[in-house]
Amino acid sequence: MIKAHRITRENVERVQSIYNRFSEKAISHYRWSHEPISFDALRISIASGQLRGYWVEDTASPEPLGIMLYCLEDHRAIEINVIYSESEDRKTVLDRLMRRFIEDVRETEGWDVVSFAMLGEQDVFIRTLTWYGFKPVGQAILQYDMLDTISIQILKQQQLDPLPAGYRIDSWKPEYAGETAQNIYEAFKDATDAHWDPRFRSLLGARRVVAMITGDMMGRHIPACTTVVLKGDVPVGFCFLVQSGPVEGNIPLIGVHPSQKGKGLGNHLLKATLEHCIDEMLAARIAMISVNTTMDTDNIPALRMYRRMGFRDEYNYPHAYLPHETVRAMKVGQWC
């Protein structure tokens, strides 16, 4: 008989072996950008409530068949960190995990949405998750190789129309934070990202996004490579850049105020950010040989913009989200 159990400080040792085996595959098979925390750190996180999760067992076998780890973020999103299964019947394992998960979170307050980026081998779960009310969105990872001569030439050959009169590009300054947060809110409050990241649904949340990026919580922020487009002296668009790894950069957010669309400002921002990155790299002020970004697979204008600047498609993955109101509306027979 297959059962799901909540991971607690009393039974966390039961998942040590399977967690360590997942850790060995996290980068190669699950596309994690960094090594998972150690098991000792996992034990502490479970005991403190920072991480929560479940393990699945077959009563006929001593070894767990799978594990699920998740956390409740400050911005009211439940982030599923990983679902890992070693069973040949992964569908049944996922089914047991989801039944227990939804049963527990259905009446839990303090969250608005469940968010699950199904990286690597987790993409096979998308077929089953839709049964539980999850809504899928395709995500694309694109990368710019700053050591690739072809990509460099593509960037150099981009002949953009001049910025409209009264507009200019500047590098990031702290005084731009307030207006940039307003731009983020206006640009993303109705976007797909807001479905699984509640921060984009309010101005306060947008301010937190700016604070997280510039406070090095999403990687080391590089002000010299973060560009802002100004109309007069007022920011109306932005392109953030952080150092996400030893030699990797990431564009976590780019956008312009809705009233400024159709003027080619996004192209100017992206081109300027890449040019600043190359200049900073050649001057040995940063160690960065590639820049990546993530976007919806149906955002055709953005995909074209990045490809036009020399970005190449790396891979796609499904992102699923589950609104709290969907869970609360479920009847018992719909999830267990």
Please determine, for residue 336, whether its predicted confidence score (pLDDT) is greater than 60.
Answer: no
Q: Which phi and psi angles does 73 have, rounded to 5°?
A: -80, 160
What pLDDT is stored for residue 332 in this prediction?
A: 65
| Res. 333: pLDDT tops 70 | no
- The percentage of the chain sitting over the pLDDT mark of 70, rounded to a whole number, equals 99
- pLDDT, average across residues 251-259: 97
| Per-residue pLDDT tens over the stretch 196-211 | 999 999 999 999 999 9
**What pLDDT, on a 0 to 100 scale, did the predictor assign at position 60?**
75
Q: Say what the pLDDT of residue 335 is.
A: 57
Tell me: the pLDDT tens digits for 283-323? 999 999 999 999 999 999 999 999 999 999 999 999 999 99
pLDDT digits (tens, 9 = 90+) for 75-102: 999 999 999 999 888 899 999 999 999 9
Nearest to 251 by CA among 282, 272, 280: 272
How far, in Å, are 31, 129, 320, 331 from residue 136 at the CA level? 19, 9, 4, 21
pLDDT band per the 50, 70, 90 thresholds, residue 179:
very high
Question: Which amino acid is located at 245 in the chain?
Answer: G
Its pTM surpasses 0.75: yes
pLDDT at residue 59 in the model: 78
Model pLDDT for residues 16-29, shown as the tens digit of each residue = 999 999 999 999 99
